Structure 1
């Protein structure tokens, strides 16, 4: 083999090795982004615990959410706090606890939602969403609660999944309680075909599901979870696995469907 050909092969191998290293670095940055954002929401949980301890004589969240517990249409689970997405007979189940103000939850959705949508639409996976008000407790405000109520109102209209995505796509910075503004939440409904109706508006404005949201957050606390998002696959916490990727999730779902 000529020196020129050997040099060409060597150069090609070097380019391939460089591309592999670049991909590894990109994957590492992606995982760091998600883990880093998770720390913010875990710290939010610590702040919530501190607030509760300092104010054990009363619970502002409960008083703000006084009234009968009105679950959204189709809510499932032991406490009636799960909003289901996907076919009920799917063999694999993903349980997701999220706060619409939580930046780590947005990071999770950005990375995993395309795969989740694909698997739910294929009938291989069903997702049970539980809504949490962690950031309200840590940062103050009621944007977590108001957006969760609005998402429950969207569930009543059969539009939860689409509105859920819109809320995360338009999430304000964590310190900005923009979702407290009910007009803002109604405006965002305009991005989902057929959602902005008088019934949806009344549901958002009246806080119809506020007490249900409080019940969902209480279930989160009783579950002993450390932060949001908490993501369980068939009952096992997979979000804590730093080696988890959308492709690995896809493989797990495919394996479950083979069984």
Structure 2
């Protein structure tokens, strides 16, 4: 679970990064005692310190990490809304049968490890329920972890999801699932891989509708939906009763178990379905 707009959480994230760097440094010192060769030693000595710097060194929009200047320009650029969106600024992302009586609302951040856990365990159930018409799904995507963890990966991944949504709702769902998968979701204490456009395109190549899709790739590389990503993120920030990710609601009922930080989203498909069915009857 990732708390948004929380100074203590930001500090905790920084401490985790610091602790991870110290752990890596200690590990590298041990390895240096066993490895002979100045060149190898030099590589190991800097390995633990390049994580965030590398992803912010490239050029272009996210070509190794979109810079603050790029996103400052995006905030002033014309708004381009992906197809399959609605509402002011195209911030409403609703997928499913229009006549579905219930709505499942998901609040997520692309870099959120709790969201990745939820998607890996419950994501397929959600997609099946959407296709079966059990409910339609409304997606609310934030980028607050870019501030908590440093970097631009949440914004860049959201922009890429906009490019996938422009291709189609199914492409969006499959791409989002791939981004949160065990194979591709970045470690919270590791490099900000989602800041790299080439990495986002690599993930997209696992989705049939996006593989080799020139229009999608161009939109990612040129930041076509960067302004839209900022607009969607701003709409997420204005939701008052959501303080952490992932948050999952069925209509007006928050699903999950109580924790000091709020409701923890169910991480088991059976428990999720039980909670959904109970909320539908209430």
Q: What TM-score range do you get, normalising by the shorter chain?
A: 0.7 to 0.9
**Equivalent residue, structure 1, for 2:72:** 63
SS at match of 2:244: coil
Q: Is the 8 A contact 1:48 1:134 kept in 2?
A: no
1:198, 1:187 → 2: CA distance?
A: 13
Alpha-carbon spacing, 1:79–1:200, altered in 2? closer, same or farther (3 Å) = closer
**Equivalent residue, structure 1, for 2:269:** 246
Specify every segment of 5 or more residues in structure 2 that has no aligned partner in the other structure, as ranges: 12-67, 257-261
**Equivalent residue, structure 2, for 1:16:** none
**Equivalent residue, structure 2, for 1:184:** 199
**Equivalent residue, structure 1, for 2:5:** 45
Report how far residue 49 of structure 1 moved: 9.5
**Equivalent residue, structure 1, for 2:253:** 236
Report how far residue 250 of structure 1 moved: 2.5
Alpha-carbon spacing, 1:77–1:254, altered in 2? closer, same or farther (3 Å) = farther
Alpha-carbon spacing, 1:254–1:50, altered in 2? closer, same or farther (3 Å) = closer
**Equivalent residue, structure 2, for 1:92:** 102
1:155 aligns with one of 165, 174, 189: 165
Alpha-carbon spacing, 1:183–1:243, altered in 2? closer, same or farther (3 Å) = closer
Q: Is the 8 A contact 1:79 1:219 kept in 2?
A: no
TM-score (norm 1): 0.72
1:229, 1:101 → 2: CA distance?
A: 11
Q: Is the 8 A contact 1:99 1:144 kept in 2?
A: yes
**Equivalent residue, structure 2, for 1:133:** 143
**Equivalent residue, structure 1, for 2:31:** none
2:185 aligns with one of 159, 162, 171: 171
**Equivalent residue, structure 2, for 1:7:** none
Q: Is the 8 A contact 1:93 1:128 kept in 2?
A: yes
TM-score (norm 2): 0.67
Q: Work out which of the two has the higher radius of gyration on C-alpha atoms and give 1 or 2.
A: 1
Question: Where do residues 70-81 of structure 1 align in structure 2 (5 Å cutoff)?
Answer: 70-77=80-87, 80-81=90-91
Aligned residues: 212
2:176, 2:165 → 1: CA distance?
A: 9
SS at match of 2:140: strand
Alpha-carbon spacing, 1:112–1:78, altered in 2? closer, same or farther (3 Å) = farther
Alpha-carbon spacing, 1:203–1:113, altered in 2? closer, same or farther (3 Å) = same
**Equivalent residue, structure 2, for 1:206:** 222
Alpha-carbon spacing, 1:228–1:242, altered in 2? closer, same or farther (3 Å) = closer
Alpha-carbon spacing, 1:256–1:78, altered in 2? closer, same or farther (3 Å) = farther
**Equivalent residue, structure 2, for 1:101:** 111
SS at match of 2:159: helix
Alpha-carbon spacing, 1:60–1:123, altered in 2? closer, same or farther (3 Å) = same
Q: Is the 8 A contact 2:255 2:265 kept in 1?
A: no
1:133, 1:222 → 2: CA distance?
A: 13
Higher helix residue share: 1
Q: Is the 8 A contact 1:97 1:228 kept in 2?
A: yes
2:166, 2:152 → 1: CA distance?
A: 21
SS at match of 1:84: strand
**Equivalent residue, structure 2, for 1:17:** none
